Chain A
Amino acid sequence: MAVDALKLDNVTKNFSGTEIIRGLNLSVAKDERHAVIGPNGAGKSTAYNLITGRYQVSSGKVFLNGEDITNLQPYEVKRKGLSRSFQITNIFPKMSVFENVRCSLLWAMGYKYSFWHMVGSQSKLNNDAEEIIEELNLKDRRNTLAGVLSYAEQRALEIGITIAGGSEVILLDEPTAGMSVSETEYIVGLIRKVTEGKTLLVVEHDMGVVFDLADRISVLVYGEIIATGTPTEVKENQAVQEAYLGAAMEEH
């Protein structure tokens, strides 16, 4: 059996005594598109923060391609090939769109803390950045400060920063939150395009998006995964319907 791209082994997290994540087990196979759904406060964002080193786990292990990455620093996790986006737009507001993307490429292209390269003359770096901007459909916003972009454009840039540098495993946190229907379509199309051939884990509230995008779905309720399976399996799962999906499905 092939090694999972991302594997959480009995991960727990408590904040001053309160258990938010209670024994989380999750396996995401290579090249799979995996969605995590669950009601508000189920611990989805917390799980992301535990995987990416923003929080320290209380117990359990996190593996990336079989390698233990538990409690590494965020930058170490990124260097191992895992990249994430944020629920609340998290970009570099006072830098241009181009600079945003180019900065996200620097480490992956091996520049590290160099103060002897001039970024302006690194043609591969700049061309790659231009390509990503083109993919994001932000070409005419190339020199605009990221902070003044429209919301949907900022969300697109957020995804651009996440995928730049070619991480193999991509974690997206509610990429379509707060968007209109047409904006959602644009973002979903974008996600599909830029995560081609990569492992994707996505937290999302919009069930339309989830069923459209995901190969497999995990349902997270009160810090535990109560079901995992293909969209159809999950839809038909009794426990899921009781706990969560029933109410959500009626809404849609």
Chain B
Amino acid sequence: MTNYSMKNGAISSSVPWIISAVILIILPFIFTGGGSITIMNQIGITIVLAMSYNMLLGQGGMLSFGHAVYMGIGGFVAVHVMNIVENEYLWLPLPLLPLVGGLVGLGFATIIGSFSTRKAGTVFAMISLGIGELIAACCIIITVFFGGEEGISGDRTMAPPTFGIEFITQKEVYFLIAFWVLLSTFCMYLFTQTPVGKMANAVRDNPERAEFVGYSMRWVRYVSFCAAGFFAGIAGALFAINYEILTEQNLNLNMSFQVLLATYIGGVGFFLGPVFGAILFTLLQTVIGLQTDLWALYTGIVFILMVMFLPTGLTGLFAMHLIPLQLGRFGLLIKPYSKIFLPGLVFLLGTIALIELINHVRHHGEEQFMTLFWIEFDTRAFLPWILFSLMTIVGFYLSRIFAREVAEAWGEATYIEGERR
């Protein structure tokens, strides 16, 4: 930070990017299954989308309820372009398609942002909601462009081959996505280091003061908004390439909520927060989604709890622990943490088991047996009910007792004299 001589700075700051690139290249050779590559592709797309969303919420203080629209529009146009390329009206190698999506997202954001960024807060949020609903409703009406309820589909393999690659396998698509994820992340990082990126933070923190240092808050927001639209459009084109189909579901309110959820769980206050959020969210969605049909309920509850108790997100949780680490008092935390771990786990398992059990009895009551955590049991016997209830109650009670110890130890471990907390 303190080093302004560009040479050293460039070398030391390029290290994380090189490491990331190496990891991205190695990953598909570690997780070789077709399923895991599909998940990684999905994660990559979500990363770009969540990071672009964080340009608004985390860095610019703009709460949007319609961010999926910019991804969706970029994606729809990308599919149309794919079809045009297939019919040979246009020559465009597939790896350049995300740029098209990005420009479309940028163009759309330029129009919408021209009036929506005038104010932040509730007005901005409501306009974004209105635009989101409007476009989602238009999907059904304007079938020429959106394809109605079935959406529109294309074929990525019909584009002119790039260095002999036709992007038939998932793995080839993976490298295309990985390249764009790295490039977009890098560009978004650079954006945070520019004057307008810095001022976006200032406007988020204190819009009025930002005006008194010479910046129009509206213009600062507008620039951030357009940039966010650009990267969302890239995510949309990546989606189009990966799935070869786009429907109304990719840009409706539900999708926008998922973007918010992924970003928030990761931590909006941190540049890399959305990356962790996107990874975790996609894993939850795909892995837990296979195990239970209640995954949306679980993620919703986790989300609400995080808004209440951990507004800085998961990255914030890690960052919080840097303070006791720096102060050399991390040891104080180990004992209370290990004490609360077991009761916490018991409480969690008990609650989930109860929820699943009730769900089974209510909606699949005709089947007497159910399997949970790889154990099959009789839902009509008393034992599981009593066991799960006991686990929940005892686990909760013990956790509460130990939580006090954690809080005390935490206060002691992070105490710094002379700073307001």
Contacts and interface: CB of A to CB of B under 8 A. Distances in A.
Interface string A29-52: 000000000000000000000001
B172 interface: no
B418 A126 contact: no
Contact of B201 (A78, A99, A143, A161): A99
Chain A contact surface mostly: loop
A60 interface: no
A119 B219 contact: no
A119 B194 CA distance: 5
A115 B223 contact: yes
The 5 closest A-B pairs by CB, nearest first: A107-B214, A111-B195, A92-B205, A74-B211, A78-B214
Interface in B188-202: 190-191, 193-199, 201-202
Contacts of B195: 106, 111-115, 117, 119
A148 B212 contact: no
Given A78-B213, A83-B212, A104-B213, A118 B190 contact: yes
B214 A115 contact: no
12 contacts: A73-B216, A78-B214, A83-B212, A92-B201, A93-B205, A95-B201, A104-B213, A106-B213, A113-B219, A115-B191, A126-B4, A143-B1
B420 interface: yes
B228 interface: no
Contacts of A164: 213
A75 B216 contact: yes
Contact of B209 (A112, A114, A116, A161): A161
Contacts of B227: 115
Nearest to A83: B212
B111 interface: no
Contacts of A155: none
A238 interface: no
B211 A75 contact: yes
Instruction: Bin chain A's interface residue count.
Output: 35 or more
A121 interface: yes
B363 interface: no
In this complex, the member of B193, B206, B214, B216 whose beta carbon has the largest number of chain A beta carbons within 10 angstroms is B214
Contacts of A7: none
Identify which of A103, A107, A118, A144 gathers the most chain B CB atoms within 10 Å of its CB: A103
A79 B214 contact: yes
- Size band of the B side of the interface? 35 or more
Contacts of A119: 193-195, 198
A98 to B, nearest CB: 8
B362 interface: no
A121 B421 contact: no
B378 interface: no
A91 interface: yes
B6 interface: yes
Contacts of A144: 419
Interface string B231-269: 000000000000000000000000000000000000001
A13 interface: no
Contacts of A78: 211-214
Contacts of B211: 73-75, 78
Contacts of B197: 115
Given A103-B198, A106-B195, A118-B194, 19 more contacts: A52-B212, A75-B216, A78-B212, A79-B214, A83-B212, A93-B206, A94-B269, A95-B202, A99-B198, A106-B214, A107-B214, A111-B195, A113-B223, A115-B196, A115-B227, A120-B9, A126-B4, A144-B419, A147-B420
Contact of B198 (A102, A112, A149, A150): A102
A95 B197 CA distance: 13
A234 interface: no
Contact of A161 (B1, B213, B215, B419): B213
A223 interface: no
Interface in A84-140: 84, 86, 90-95, 99, 102-104, 106-108, 111-121, 123, 126-127
B81 interface: no
Contacts of A113: 195-196, 199, 215, 219-220, 223
B209 A91 contact: yes
B199 to A, nearest CB: 6
B306 to A, nearest CB: 19
